[in-house]
Chains A and B, each alone.
Chain A
Amino acid sequence: SPRSRGRVVSDKTSGLSVAPEDNASELHLLSQLPKGMRRGYALLPPLLKVLSDRGHQNWESEAPRLQPGSRALRYMKRLYKMSATKEGIPKANKSHLYNTVRLFTPCSECKHHHRDLMKGDVHLVDLLFNLDRVTALEHLLKSVLLYSFDTSVPISSSITCMCHLSVKEHDSSSQVCPSLSHSIPFSLQFEVRKRKWVEIDVTSFLQPLIATNRRNIHMAVNVTCLMGDPQQNTKLENAINMALVPPSLLLYLNDTSEQAYHRWNSLRHRRKNPVWPRQRNSPLVDPTGGKGKENSQGKRASRQR
């Protein structure tokens, strides 16, 4: 608007100039930014975007957000509690390499059932994950397919599942269920005991895709579950009708942008200034997926040693 045109406020935090109080002029300015910067600004974490849009009065009226599922929220709240103190400060434990964790739920799925083809319960599903929110400065440390099992299912004995993954290319013939054009065979075996969440480490599978800036990951996930020990005769029927909710995709990332917290910097800084209090009894979270399995006592003893 004429009122605000002459007055451009330069935002020191992100070094970008935004005209206040006027979305249209903001979009206009955005279009003038170099393409790379425009993308960066659009992906500026929402918290900082709000802070940098100083004149943006009606933030609430922004387009409605898609709401994640309750399971995903529950899992991330649990991760938050493991990674940060009550005051919201990141816990200072050394093996805690990531400073960003993103959880994506599939934005489309295509179910195929081949019950009569194979022994056990086969869940073959095509999943499409849109990873647009991952920025160029967020580097992948680990990626996990996150399955949650219904606790109502009687898991008296272990369930052994095989998971086959393959990448799909989108071909024009079918919008929703593309055919399999090339596949990277990737199979894992995991046991489901009492645990509600099962994490399938697919880092080696996804690393090359994400490294080439692929943001639409289309994969076929084929899970076959057998009750009990696969070596012995397994009773297949009763636990078979277990509902498998399509997995979410969890990415542990290291954000190298200025706004992100760089643990190593502060640890180095603290080593220089020993007066900073050190946290002694923080649980250790192993970003490589060994959550909960490590004996924290052992760790502490070894550290003291």
Chain B
Amino acid sequence: RAENLKEAPATPSHNLSKYFNQFLFPQNECELHNFRLSFSQLKWDKWIIAPHRYSPQYCKGDCPRVVGHRYGSPVHTMVQNIIYEKLDSSVPKPSCVPAEYSPLSVLTIEPDGSIVYKEYEDMIATKCTCR
């Protein structure tokens, strides 16, 4: 629904809905961002046969002061926020990091000329959290 809201066509009530939106869904908050690369950019395509492209994605954005259930953050995250604000600002604020991943299958040529298909764990970020 959030996506739909963002892309809603411009209507006269656009400004109003946009105004309210910023309270409902604050901007620049922690979220998953697309990032796609091709192994030929890294000059790895000589030995990585498949996939040609890889979308690792990444997490970026601010972590709100009160991290509620939206990010599935543990209570510790809020405690860390309080430490940062009230006790010791050298303690970093909670960061926006990946919370879940999906695997990636890779077909590579080994140095001895054999070919290996292998499934690697945690290669694509699918969800972000604050902690």
Q: What is the interface of chain A, defined by CB distance below 8 A to chain B?
A: 45-48, 50, 59-60, 62-63, 65-68, 72-73, 76-77, 79-80, 83-84, 86-90, 99-105, 107, 130, 132-133, 255, 258-263, 266
Contact = CB atoms under 8 A, between A and B. Distances in A.
A32 to B, nearest CB: 23
**Prevailing SS type, chain B contact patch:** strand
Contacts of B115: 68, 72-73, 76, 102-103
Nearest to B105: A84
Contacts of B51: 84, 86-88
B8 interface: no
Contacts of B106: 47, 88
B1 interface: no
**Prevailing SS type, chain A contact patch:** mixed
Interface residues of B, number: 32
Given A88-B51, A260-B121, A67 B108 contact: no
Contact of B120 (A50, A80, A261): A261
Contacts of B53: 88
B103 A89 contact: yes
Given A72-B115, A77-B107, 4 more contacts: A65-B47, A66-B113, A88-B105, A104-B114
A45 B108 contact: yes
B3 interface: no
Given A68-B114, A87-B55, A260 B105 contact: no
B18 to A, nearest CB: 30
A142 to B, nearest CB: 14
Contacts of B46: 60, 65
Contacts of A50: 44
Nearest to A69: B113
Contacts of B108: 45-47
Contacts of A47: 48, 106, 108, 120
Nearest to B103: A261
Given A77-B107, A83-B105, A99 B49 contact: no
Contacts, number: 118
25 contacts: A48-B120, A60-B43, A65-B111, A65-B113, A66-B111, A68-B109, A73-B49, A77-B50, A77-B107, A83-B117, A84-B50, A84-B105, A86-B51, A87-B51, A88-B54, A88-B106, A89-B103, A90-B119, A103-B115, A104-B114, A105-B114, A133-B112, A258-B121, A259-B121, A260-B118
Interface in B45-67: 46-51, 53-55
B66 to A, nearest CB: 24
B32 interface: no
A277 to B, nearest CB: 11
A175 to B, nearest CB: 19
Given A77-B107, A258-B121, A262-B121, A89 B113 contact: no
B50 to A, nearest CB: 5
Contacts of A73: 49, 115
B103 A90 contact: yes
B41 to A, nearest CB: 13
Contacts of A83: 105, 117, 119
Contacts of A76: 49, 107, 115, 117
A66 B111 CA distance: 6
Nearest to B121: A261
Contacts of A262: 121
A259 B121 CA distance: 6
A99 B118 contact: yes
Interface string B78-117: 0000000000000000000000001111111111111111
A62 B111 CA distance: 10
A128 to B, nearest CB: 13
A266 B103 CA distance: 10
The 8 closest A-B pairs by CB, nearest first: A66-B113, A88-B51, A84-B105, A261-B103, A261-B119, A99-B119, A101-B117, A103-B115
Nearest to B55: A87
